[in-house]
Structure 1
Amino acid sequence: MDNASASINSAFTNNDDFISSDDIRHEFALAMSAMYQQEVPLYGDLLDLVDEVNTEVLAKQPDIKEQLEYTGELARLSMERHGAIRLGTADELSTMRRLFAVMGMYPVGYYDLAPAGVPVHSTAFRAIDAEALSNSPFRVFTSLLRLDLITDEVLKQQAKAALSKRKIFTDQAIALIDKFESQGGLNLADTKQFIIEALETFRWHEQAPISKGLYQQLADQHALIADVVGFKGPHINHLTPRTLDIDAVQQGMQARGIPPKAIIEGPPKRDCPILLRQTSFKALEEAVSFKNEQGSYEQGQHTARFGEIEQRGVALTSKGRALYDKLLNKARHQLGATPNQNNASDYYEILAKSFAAFPDDYQTMHDEGLAYFYYQAVEQSINVDAKTRLAKAEITQLINQGAIRIEPIVYEDFLPVSAAGIFQSNLKNAEQNDEPGYKGNSNKQEFEQALGAQVYDELALYEAMQAQSLKQCLTAIERCA
């Protein structure tokens, strides 16, 4: 048993009761992290750097520490927040949905990356309520290759043939998924075995089942197509810790000789962070053995796996997202090129000026309906009827009176432009090469058909979290009044 398997530990008690999906997800995330650190040792160095930066931020900025305590974020700060995989077929996506359901992870959001030059559409498998997210925030950004975007018909058929031959789930993993679905849960022994079997789907395999020639043809179409079709399974291509200061981590990577991507994706640095900022260390070239016609292997190289870092801010409402998209598009249009290492300083300056139009304090964001917040009761005797639906102005008045405290609801999802920027910068040698967008139409219906389920609306989930917190808050105020 390797270190990843050994990390399945004392959270479980030795009995026949079903283990909660939250606990399975938490233990799987630990096992995945241990495996990835073995496969990509530089990722372990990144975790150490992020931990040092977070420790320093908490020591120097007690207001941030207090906010994290109020929202329950402090205890889970050190947990990896997400990973990413890429799948090749509808059957793979459908079975992956079933596998993640064992861990209490469900498809949230639909992302079409084709307009940004990446031939996939995606969803994020994650927990969907506040309590489950507090127990384990781990999520997996899961992309499905769009073979319809391969322009060479012969190559498209070769890719389909290669994908049809592979089997990415072990027989035991499928059996345990079936068992979970039929009996409603897994006991301790089954849970441990499930985590071991599920890890095999995400493990790196150095031997590729296709020829070096076919790999190169696929890579000429797009490096991501070669990454999906050319391997035995959907190796985890990155894991992501959460930092409280992504700019400090970016500088820290450079100081430690960890090669960072040139641009931090997402909004600019702010006093009150919004949505998601992401960066990564660049993917390293790895030795790969390609299978030739004689059945033997020849050496080659592949670039895909990297380490990512994220800084998360408050989730935005549809109004807030519209403003965010408008300001981001304005900045990119003004830059006139894809942000890269040659124009990074110009881009950051333009981005900061553009986002000056987005309020940078939580109270204004709340009052203008731009972001989602938790409402928390402060012990004061103010009469309010919890059963009455309060107008926004009345809620704001209670906040101003000190009866209610607002705290940001953390954004748990992704940004298509940012995801495409991360993908592109880690699938080729130079970030300055623009990748033209694909002309194929977005097809959420086709994606959901392959998935075998509808994706959750992330904004509806945040809306429900905010509404629930307000209801609980007003009830608490009413009791103490």
Structure 2
Amino acid sequence: MTTFVSPDRIRGLFAQAMSDMYRSEVPLYGDLIELVGEINRAALEADPALAARLERNGEIERLDLERHGAIRVGTPAELAMLRRVFAIMGMQPVGYYDLTVAGVPVHSTAFRPLDEASLAANPFRIFTSLLRLELIGDPALRAEAEAILARRDIFTAGARALVEQAERDGGLGEDDARRFVAEVLETFRWHGDATVSLETYKALHGLHRLVADVVCFRGPHINHLTPRTLDIDAAQAGMLARGLQAKALIEGPPRRAVPILLRQTSFKALEEEVSYPDADGKLVPGSHTARFGEIEQRGLALTPAGRELYDRLLAEVRQAGGAAGNTAADYPQRLAAAFAVFPDDEATLRREGLGYFRYRLTEAGAAVPAGERAAMTPEAMIDAGYAEADPIVYEDFLPVSAAGIFQSNLGGGEQRAYDAHANQDAFEAALGATINDPFALYAQAQEASIASLRA
């Protein structure tokens, strides 16, 4: 009888293989990993309370493992197959992101583990975008892009066979799991030769650089692999000190005493040599810009009320900047000023219901009879010294920030080329599944911890 490997283990094997491949393809990624490691060690030494919190919530072990990648696919069939691939790794679609709001013609989801035990084992995520071909205004180029995509298969025959085997049998044994990782990795590999002529590439590039990136290659090469830092401002300074071309601004909320949601920065995308076939099949030299290095810092997951406040403040700041948006010189100052009204201490964030927290009993609380605890609210238990609460980490993404990272690496000229075109129903139809609601996942984690206080 075959012993199946857990999805968590397969995900861990894949995340390590992806990291090794990307390090060999983009040596600067190795520099980022070293930089983030140095910053995280310094942050933990400088803040014992932070170190203790990460330790008790199982985040120390996952910190060095933590990565998120990003890919962009061209067709619903490619997206649906990716969903099946990621399911074998214990990764499900969470959240819907409309990036057209910032001029990027895609909509997206993030494949990631759902439960806390799997996140603690390895929180690997893949932010996955589907090209919105219907937004291409030129009918002839749209038809050509569709024809190009229809001719390719981004998965190996081995990957397809192993997916079908895992779905039929209910899992994969050790040897098959390793073969599965090797076969699927080919989908994410960089190829230095395009599948279209340089003329076609330039025409699609003229529509939007991301359109050319998705359509003109054999597969959705991984375009960044992101480690998690505990101090992104130090990471930004460290990139500049090492001579890396960091983007001008950190995406997301301003620096705060209590970090919220997600802050991201990156170094500029690499211009890489690419060969383009001509009409005679000869290769013509050219270049393409797609892959870059990104770093992220994760903070408190916000409730719907907290997220509404965040989105409103961010929109006000961006709109006040006029055509310059977040590229205006005074944007960081205006952002910090606007967010001054957003509570910046854990007790207020918790009491006003702006963020999700994980509760646990103290030694004093454990000595109190369960019946007495059951009659108390979580806040009353905290006030009495019977319980403590830690922020629940935000495991997901921000559409404006994701688009901002894309823009900084694809060029900013197309920022307002599209209006908002959210269409979650169409995305889910392409996906072949319903997207999980991230707010519901955080609420479940918080409620489970509250229930444990009263058990």
Indicate whether 1:450 and 2:430 are aligned: yes
What SS is found at the alignment partner of 2:343? coil
1:149, 1:440 within 8 Å by CA — same for their partners in 2? no
Name the counterpart of 1:12.
Answer: none
Q: Once the 2 structures are TM-superposed, how far is the Cα of residue 23 of structure 1 from its aligned partner?
A: 0.6
Deviation per residue, 1:174-212 (Å, 9 max, x gap): 110001101111001100100000100000001111011
Indicate whether 1:79 and 2:65 are aligned: yes
Q: Once the 2 structures are TM-superposed, how far is the Cα of residue 474 of structure 1 from its aligned partner?
A: 2.2
Name the counterpart of 1:192.
Answer: 178
**C-alpha separation between the residues in 2 aligned to 1:449 and 1:207?**
32
For 1:359, which of 340, 343, 366 is the aligned residue? 343
Change (3 A) 1:226 1:323: same
For 1:52, which of 3, 26, 38 is the aligned residue? 38
What SS is found at the alignment partner of 2:410? coil
1:119, 1:146 within 8 Å by CA — same for their partners in 2? yes
Indicate whether 1:423 and 2:406 are aligned: yes
Name the counterpart of 2:388.
Answer: 405
Q: Once the 2 structures are TM-superposed, how far is the Cα of residue 444 of structure 1 from its aligned partner?
A: 0.7
Instruction: Name the aligned partner's letter for residue 363 of structure 1.
Output: A
**C-alpha separation between the residues in 2 aligned to 1:231 and 1:132?**
33
1:115, 1:438 within 8 Å by CA — same for their partners in 2? yes
2:112, 2:124 within 8 Å by CA — same for their partners in 1? yes
2:362, 2:387 within 8 Å by CA — same for their partners in 1? yes
**C-alpha separation between the residues in 1 aligned to 2:102 and 2:247?**
18
Q: Once the 2 structures are TM-superposed, how far is the Cα of residue 326 of structure 1 from its aligned partner?
A: 1.1
Deviation per residue, 1:355-383 (Å, 9 max, x gap): 11111111110100000010111111334
What SS is found at the alignment partner of 1:154? helix
1:125, 1:140 within 8 Å by CA — same for their partners in 2? yes
Name the counterpart of 2:24.
Answer: 38
1:16, 1:188 within 8 Å by CA — same for their partners in 2? no
Deviation per residue, 1:421-450 (Å, 9 max, x gap): 00111112xx5x461141363111110000
Q: Once the 2 structures are TM-superposed, how far is the Cα of residue 469 of structure 1 from its aligned partner?
A: 1.3
**C-alpha separation between the residues in 2 aligned to 1:389 and 1:297?**
75
What SS is found at the alignment partner of 2:371? coil
1:372, 1:408 within 8 Å by CA — same for their partners in 2? yes
Q: Once the 2 structures are TM-superposed, how far is the Cα of residue 63 of structure 1 from its aligned partner?
A: 1.3
**C-alpha separation between the residues in 1 aligned to 2:192 and 2:362?**
57
Name the counterpart of 1:377.
Answer: 361
Name the counterpart of 1:348.
Answer: 332
Indicate whether 1:161 and 2:147 are aligned: yes
What SS is found at the alignment partner of 1:435? coil
For 1:242, which of 228, 231, 251 is the aligned residue? 228
Instruction: Name the aligned partner's letter for residue 461 of structure 1.
Output: L
**C-alpha separation between the residues in 1 aligned to 2:35 and 2:388?**
33
Q: Once the 2 structures are TM-superposed, how far is the Cα of residue 388 of structure 1 from its aligned partner?
A: 4.9
1:338, 1:434 within 8 Å by CA — same for their partners in 2? no
Gaps of 5+ in 2: none
Instruction: Name the aligned partner's letter for residue 401 of structure 1.
Output: A
Normalised by the length of structure 2, the TM-score is: 0.97
For 2:258, which of 269, 272, 282 is the aligned residue? 272
Normalised by the length of structure 1, the TM-score is: 0.92
**C-alpha separation between the residues in 2 aligned to 1:386 and 1:166?**
64
Name the counterpart of 1:9.
Answer: none
Q: Once the 2 structures are TM-superposed, how far is the Cα of residue 274 of structure 1 from its aligned partner?
A: 0.2
What SS is found at the alignment partner of 1:141? strand
Name the counterpart of 2:451.
Answer: 471
Deviating beyond 6 angstroms after TM superposition, the runs of 4 or more aligned structure 1 residues are none
**C-alpha separation between the residues in 1 aligned to 2:349 and 2:420?**
36
Gaps of 5+ in 1: 1-14, 476-481
**C-alpha separation between the residues in 1 aligned to 2:421 and 2:319?**
22
1:377, 1:474 within 8 Å by CA — same for their partners in 2? no
1:263, 1:339 within 8 Å by CA — same for their partners in 2? no
Deviation per residue, 1:218-251 (Å, 9 max, x gap): 1110000000001000000000000000000101
Deviation per residue, 1:100-140 (Å, 9 max, x gap): 00100000011011121000000000000100000000000
Name the counterpart of 2:379.
Answer: 396
**C-alpha separation between the residues in 1 aligned to 2:414 and 2:105?**
14
Sequence identity of aligned pairs in percent?
55
Aligned pairs (5 A) from 1:108-147: 108-147=94-133
Name the counterpart of 2:312.
Answer: 326
1:284, 1:306 within 8 Å by CA — same for their partners in 2? yes
Deviation per residue, 1:143-181 (Å, 9 max, x gap): 000000000000000000000011100001011000110
Change (3 A) 1:305 1:271: same
Instruction: Name the aligned partner's letter for residue 451 of structure 1.
Output: L
Name the counterpart of 1:152.
Answer: 138
Range 245-254 or range 433-442, more displaced: 433-442
